[in-house]
């Protein structure tokens, strides 16, 4: 299987709820990163997982958490949703857990709306 797939493509939640977004990495890629893209901005790094361990984190609070599984799938969990969490969430996989000379393969994103 090639490419990165994300689900769901769209979802609507209310403030205070919890959400789980899912990602299936490209086969063989051992690194997954999650990015948040708010309207009018570039993607912002949330965190990276390498071989099922968190390997780096951006400026996001602990209510953003993740998991990576041995079958190359991963999850982004957000607790206590806030209005500002409304954004497109992008998953990207790659074959290198180190510094970023490697190309990222992106999914098409999950668009979250928090009301």
Positions touching another protein (CB under 8 A) are 3-4, 33, 35, 40-45, 48, 55-56, 58, 90, 97-109
Please report, for residues 1, 69, 72, 88, 91, the alpha-carbon distance to residue 44 in angstroms, rounded to integers and kept in the order given: 27, 23, 22, 10, 11
CB of 16 to another protein, least distance (A): 29
Nearer to another protein, 48 or 81 (CB): 48
Rounded to a whole number of angstroms, the minimum distance from the CB of residue 84 to another protein is 17
Residue with smaller CB distance to another protein, 13 or 97:
97
């Amino acid at each position: 299987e090639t490419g990165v797939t994300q689900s769901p493509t769209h979802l609507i939640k209310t403030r205070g709820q919890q959400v789980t977004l899912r990602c299936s990495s490209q086969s063989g890629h051992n690194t997954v990163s999650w990015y948040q893209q708010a309207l009018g901005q570039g993607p912002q790094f949330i965190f990276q997982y390498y071989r099922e361990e968190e390997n780096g984190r951006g400026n996001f609070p602990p209510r953003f958490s993740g998991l990576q599984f041995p079958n190359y799938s991963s999850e982004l969990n957000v607790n206590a949703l806030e209005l500002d969490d409304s954004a497109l969430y992008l998953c990207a996989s790659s074959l290198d857990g180190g510094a970023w000379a490697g190309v990222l393969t992106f999914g098409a994103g999950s668009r979250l709306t928090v009301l």
